[in-house]
Amino acid sequence: MHPVVKKLSTFASFSKSEEEQVEHLFSRTQVVADKEVIAWEDEPAEDIIFVMEGFVHRAKMLTNGRRQILAFMSPGDACDRGVSILDRRDHSLVALGEGIIARVSHQKLEALLTETNKLRDAFQWATLVEESIAREWITNIGQREAPERAAHLFCEMFYKLRAIDQVEGMSYRLPLTQRDLSDAIATSEVHANRVLQALRAQHLIAFGDKRLTILDLQGLERFAGFDPTYLHLSAKYRQT
C-alpha cells in the first residue's frame, strides 16, 4: 500500500478510487542521502514534503551551536502542511539514513482536499496528532529525567511505526547516532550514551546496527510513564 494511504488508514478507510487519487498526487519522488538537508531553515517554504521511505527529522539550530531535534517523521508523514502561508520556514528538514521523499505543491494538495472531505479530515487528523506529539515532547523534555525521556521516545516510535507496519517483532529500524538521540531528548552526547547503557542494563531495550529492539514493552512503558493516548490511535493499534 502507498505509504501515505497506509498512514491515513490508521484514521479512516478509503475506497480504491480515493487511494488512487492520493497515489497520483505523489508521483514525483526523489531519493535523498543520509544527512541530506531537504529544506533549510530561513528558506521560503515552497512545496509540501512527504516521507515515502526512511526517516526525516525536523531540527532547529541555536546561535550557540546547539541543535534541538523537534520531530521524527516516518513514511506517510507530511513534513509541513500548509506552511506556505508563512513567509519562511523556522526549522530545517534533514534525512536520517537514505530515504525517498515526494514534493507536492500546496495548490495540488488543496485541490484534492477540496474535492473529498474524507481526505481533508484524514489530513487534518494527521496534523492534529503531530501537534499533540509536539506537546508531548515539551512535557517529556520538561518533566522527565534523561533515561525516562529516551524510554518515552522509544515507546512513541514503536506505536507510531507499528501503525504503519514498520515494526518487525519487537524491533524497528531507527537510523540515529547517539548524537542525534541526544539532540532529540536534550542531553549531552556523553549522557545519551550512559542513558542507553542504563536502559540496556535493565533489559528494557537493545540498540545497535541502527535498530531498536524493545525487550520488555510493559517495563519500558512503566519506566517512562508512557501513555499512548496522545497518539490518538484507533483501537486496533492501541493494544500493548
Partner DNA sequence: CGCGAAATTGACGACCATCAATTATGGTGG
Partner DNA sequence: CCACCATAATTGATGGTCGTCAATTTCGCG
Q: Please report, as ranges, the residues that interact with its own copies according to CB under 8 A.
A: 42, 58, 60, 62-64, 66-68, 70, 82-83, 85-88, 90-91, 121, 124-125, 128-129, 131-132, 134-139, 141-144, 186, 225, 227, 229-230, 232
Q: Which is nearer to DNA, 169 or 208 (CB)?
A: 208
Cβ 189 vs Cβ 179: under 8 Å: yes
Q: Which is nearer to its own copies, 97 or 230 (CB)?
A: 230
Q: Which does 190 bind (CB under 5 to 8 A by kind): its own copies, DNA, none?
A: DNA
DSSP element (H, E) containing 176: none
Q: How far apart are CA 79 and CA 56, in angstroms?
A: 8
Runs of H (alpha helix) within 163-234: 178-185, 189-201, 217-224
Cβ 225 vs Cβ 219: under 8 Å: no
Q: What is residue 78's DSSP assignment?
A: B
Q: Which does 146 bind (CB under 5 to 8 A by kind): DNA, its own copies, none?
A: DNA
Q: Which does 57 bind (CB under 5 to 8 A by kind): its own copies, DNA, none?
A: none
DSSP element (H, E) containing 164: none
Least distance between its own copies and beta carbon 168 (Å): 29
Least distance between its own copies and beta carbon 196 (Å): 18
List the beta strands (DSSP E) in the chain.
29-32, 37-39, 48-61, 67-73, 92-104, 167-168, 171-173, 205-208, 211-214
Q: Which is nearer to DNA, 100 or 186 (CB)?
A: 186
Binding site for DNA (CB under 7 A): 145-147, 177-179, 186-191, 193-197, 208-209
Least distance between its own copies and beta carbon 28 (Å): 25
Q: Which is nearer to its own copies, 135 or 203 (CB)?
A: 135
DSSP assignment string, 81-115: TTGGGSSS-SSEEEEEEEEEEEEE-HHHHHHHHHH
Q: Using alpha carbons only, how large is the chain's radius of gyration in Å?
A: 18
Least distance between its own copies and beta carbon 130 (Å): 8
Least distance between its own copies and beta carbon 35 (Å): 20
